[in-house]
Amino acid sequence: MSQSSTPETDWVSRFADDVIAESERRAPGKPVVVASGLSPSGPIHLGNLREVMTPHLVADEIRRRGYEVRHLISWDDYDRYRKVPNGVPGIDESWAEHIGKPLTSVPAPAGSSYPNWAEHFKAPMVAALAELGVEFDGISQTEQYTAGTYREQVLHAMKHRADIDAVLDRYRTKKDPAAGKKSQKPVDEAELEAAEGSGAASEDDGTSGSAYYPYKPYCGQCERDLTTVTAYDDESTELTYTCVCGFTETVFLKEFNRGKLVWKVDWPMRWAYEGVIFEPSGVDHSSPGSSFVVGGQIVREVFDGVQPIGPMYAFVGISGMAKMSSSKGGVPTPGDALKIMEAPLLRWLYARRKPNQSFKIAFDQEIQRLYDEWDKLSLKVADGSVLPADAAAYSRAVGTAAGELPRTPRPLSYRTLASVADITAGAEDQTLRILSELDPSDPIASLDEVRPRLDRAESWITSYVPADQRTLVRAEPDAATLAELGDADRESLRLLVEGLDSHWSLDGLTTLVYGVPKIQAGLSADAKPTPELKVAQRTFFALLYQLLVGRDTGPRLPTLLLAVGAERVRKLLGA
Ligand SMILES: [Zn+2]
């Protein structure tokens, strides 16, 4: 535990150095506190995962060095329900009547087993974080506020409302459109625009008419936050508010728990309350007037605290969702990503890129290349040829300070597994037959050896590969094409069919399919490819695809041939 297990050469290590030093300066001997904030206002998008992964990786490195760390995830479930999201099953337009209520007071979608809206959308994120090996302390802001946990801070903020107002006033004229809340970062530029229109960016900072109050009650009659504080007495804490519904009430804030500080005050209050040393936020918060910048002044001037080390992270995009989004109701969640890729791969995407570098998470064909790259890295780690920074990213991906994450015992190529899943449509006996023939010298004996990677590849094929790109092996030979073949084509098919039995493995069939055009050209099997040979190989492959699957492309041919089976290959090739 006390030894650093990773080289000190990557961004995670450098932040860990800074965070440990800052924590020892500010709170010697106390656990190091890092934080994330998530708003369960709807499905928590994959784009928001960076909010958690950035502090998680730093926290994990600090734990590996033997320090105690608290990674707080603030569930901003006491935020107002802003809008009815699109594409969420089990809701209808009647949910609009809840706009303005705390997220924990909005009913969950129909059929949900959770007691309210916030819990319904929190649960899949909690499950995904568990699978990713993210250890955290979840803090419900509903629980904190309604229990009066922040009482002292709320009264303090109200007492110092003029100071807060003065800080906010430095920025009010700047009209910064990105000055909104940091949670629920959008996943790409289009989403960014959508989110900015949603009200997140234009959140009320507490200004109402002539007076400024940093606290907003939820209405005692309609539960919404469409309230205006009309009077406040510092001495007695007597507060009067009115609501657009017509309700008005006078309460004592020293014993009232149904309301919250406005976001730009709430966030720095919590930095001070929890002693947060590290909390990143999205790049849209680097501008003057953003809640991170304003919060830095409020925490110092009002709460006598210190702003966390807070790197800005770039957006994480998704590739391959454009086609799917209309049918699947929008952007994917971390749980969706974990259905098509193993947790270490997803962790690796975050570990290998500095927070200020943007990247995309592939839901399209690119995922196969990504897996190839990951497998190459694993081999380099195994043979010791890996570079230090790559080794660090790898070790952060495959496990945490608590231990290794589950991995696939025999990590066969994702590309191959996807092709097999494509062709077999998930039929287990056929899948096992094909996989056991890939390498006859060391056959797969059970599908458990290739799980969970096999399940992820199957899930990718069935969920994200469009029907027109799926492989359908012909039931009957393509008689028309076969009848029109010239002598050279017939000869190539004959050479292939003849070689099937003696080459029946992944490696053997690779040699065979590339070798047939060489033999026809009078070249030796190990001849270097010439431009002419490459053309001949492409032509030959296109013919095979046409005869086997009725298209001019498909899964890699050796995999396809193994999957189709020798007998059926012979039949489809007219032998
Ligand atoms: Zn009301």
Question: Looking at residue 208, what is its pLDDT?
Answer: 57
Residue 240 domain-assigned (yes or no): yes
pLDDT at res. 320: 83
CA–centroid distance, residue 225 to ligand 1 (Å): 7
Query: Predicted confidence band at 526 (pLDDT cuts at 50, 70, 90)?
Result: confident
Dihedral angle sign, alpha carbons of residues 199, 202, 205, 208: negative
- CA–CA separation, 213 and 229 (whole Å): 7
Q: How far is the CA of 40 from the centre of ligand 1 (A)?
A: 23
With residue 361 as reference, give the H or E element that holds it: strand 359-362
Dist. CA 84 → ligand 1 center (Å): 19
Q: Is residue 554 part of a domain?
A: yes
Task: Say if residue 174's pLDDT is above 60.
Answer: no
Judgement on whether residues 99 and 190 belong to the same structural domain of the protein: yes
pLDDT for position 209: 59
Taking the centre of ligand 1 as the mean of its atom positions, its distance from the CA of residue 157, in whole angstroms, is 24
Residue 218 Cα to ligand 1 midpoint, Å, equals 8
What is the structure's pLDDT at 179? 45
Q: In this model, does residue 192 exceed pLDDT 90?
A: no
Query: What does the pLDDT read at residue 329?
Result: 55
Ligand 1 center to 99 CA (angstroms): 12
Rounded to the nearest angstrom, the distance between the alpha carbon of 220 and the centre of ligand 1 is 7
In this structure, are 510 and 387 located in the same domain? no
Mean pLDDT, to the nearest integer, of 513-532? Answer: 89
Domain end among 407, 428, 455: 407
* CA of 219 relative to ligand 1 center, distance in Å: 5
Whether 222 and 98 share a structural domain: yes
Please indicate, yes or no, whether residues 503 and 403 belong to a single structural domain of this protein. Answer: no
Q: What is the pLDDT of residue 206?
A: 67
Q: Hey, is 16 helix, strand or coil? A: helix
How confident is residue 171, by pLDDT bands cut at 50, 70 and 90? confident
Compute the average pLDDT of residues 175-196.
42
Q: What percent of the chain has pLDDT over 70?
A: 90
- Do 5 and 105 lie in a common domain? yes
- 80 and 185 assigned to the same domain: yes
Q: What is the pLDDT of residue 369?
A: 97
Cα–Cα distances in angstroms (integers) from residue 233 to residues 165, 191, 230, 255, 280, in the given order: 17, 43, 11, 14, 37
Q: Mean pLDDT over residues 273-282, rounded? A: 96
What is the pLDDT at residue 290? Answer: 85
Our count of domains for the chain comes to: 2
State in Å: Cα 82 to ligand 1 middle.
16
Asked whether residue 438 is assigned to any structural domain, the reply reads no
pLDDT higher than threshold 90 for residue 188: no
Is 115 inside a domain boundary? yes
Which stretch of 253-262, 280-289, 368-377 has the lowest confidence by average pLDDT? 280-289
Q: Rounded to an integer, what distance in angstroms lies between the CA atom of residue 572 and that of residue 434?
A: 18
Query: What is the predicted pLDDT for the residue at 211?
Result: 87
Domain ends where: 392, 407, 422? 407
- How many Å separate Cα 187 from the centre of its chain? 10
Domain-located, residue 423 = no
The tens digit of pLDDT for each residue in 461-503 reads 999 998 888 999 999 999 999 999 999 999 999 999 999 999 9
Q: What is the pLDDT of residue 52?
A: 98
Please report, for the domain that includes residue 141, its CATH number: 3.40.50.620
Distance 108 CA to ligand 1 centre (A): 21
Residue 447, domain member (yes or no): no
Cβ atoms of 289 and 158 within 8 Å: the answer is no
Q: Which residues pair with 403 in a beta bridge?
A: 400
pLDDT tens digits for range 330-361: 679 999 999 999 999 999 999 999 999 999 99
Last residue of one domain, picked from the residues 390, 407, 424:
407
Question: pLDDT value at position 196?
Answer: 33
Q: Poorest-confidence range of 90-99, 187-196, 249-258, 530-539?
A: 187-196
pLDDT for 197 beyond 90: no
What is the reported pTM?
A: 0.89
Distance 248 CA to ligand 1 centre (A): 8
**What's the gap in Å between 96 CA and the centre of ligand 1?**
15
Whether residue 437 lies inside any domain: the answer is no
For residue 185, give the DSSP letter. Answer: -
Residues 224 and 86 in one domain: yes
396 and 531, same domain (yes or no): no
Please indicate, yes or no, if residue 133 is contained in any of the structural domains: yes
* 480 Cα–ligand 1 center, Å: 75
The CA 105 to ligand 1 mean position distance, Å, reads 14
Domain at 526, CATH number: 1.10.10.350
Q: Is the pLDDT assigned to residue 522 strictly greater than 50?
A: yes
Calculate how far, in angstroms, residue 241's C-alpha sits from the geometric centre of ligand 1. 10
Compute, in angstroms, the gap from residue 245 CA to the centroid of ligand 1: 4
Whether residues 273 and 393 share a domain: the answer is yes
pLDDT of 300? 97
Q: Is the pLDDT of residue 184 over 50?
A: no
How far is ligand 1, taken at its centre, from the CA of residue 115, in Å? 23
Could you tell me the residue range of the domain that residue 173 belongs to? 1-407
Distance (angstroms) between ligand 1 centre and the Cα of 246 equals 6
**102 CA to centre of ligand 1 in angstroms:** 13
Q: Please indicate, yes or no, whether residues 395 and 518 belong to a single structural domain of this protein.
A: no
Residue 221: C-alpha distances to residues 99, 217, 241, 243, 465 (Å): 14, 11, 12, 9, 50
Return the pLDDT at 210. Answer: 67
Name the residue among 111, 113, 98, 110 with its Cα closest to residue 41: 98
Residues 29 and 178 in one domain: yes
pLDDT digits (tens, 9 = 90+) for 85-130: 988 999 999 999 999 999 999 999 999 999 999 999 999 999 999 9
Q: What does the pLDDT average to over 66-72?
A: 98
| Lowest-confidence segment of 169-173, 405-409, 567-571 by average pLDDT | 169-173
How many angstroms separate the alpha carbon of residue 242 from the centre of ligand 1?
8
pLDDT for residue 233 is more than 60: yes
Apex 236 CA angle, 231 and 242, nearest 5 = 25
Residue 166 has pLDDT above 50, yes or no: yes
Question: In the predicted model, what is the mean pLDDT of the chain?
Answer: 90
Q: Mind listing the pLDDT tens digit for each residue in 198-229?
A: 333 345 666 655 689 999 999 999 999 999 99
Mean pLDDT of 410-422: 95
CA angle 276, 278, 282 (to 5 degrees): 115
- Does residue 154 sit in the same domain as residue 272? yes
What protein residues have CB closer than 5 angstroms to ion ligand 1? 219, 221-222, 243, 245, 247
Residue among 141, 161, 295, 168 at smallest CA distance from 239: 161
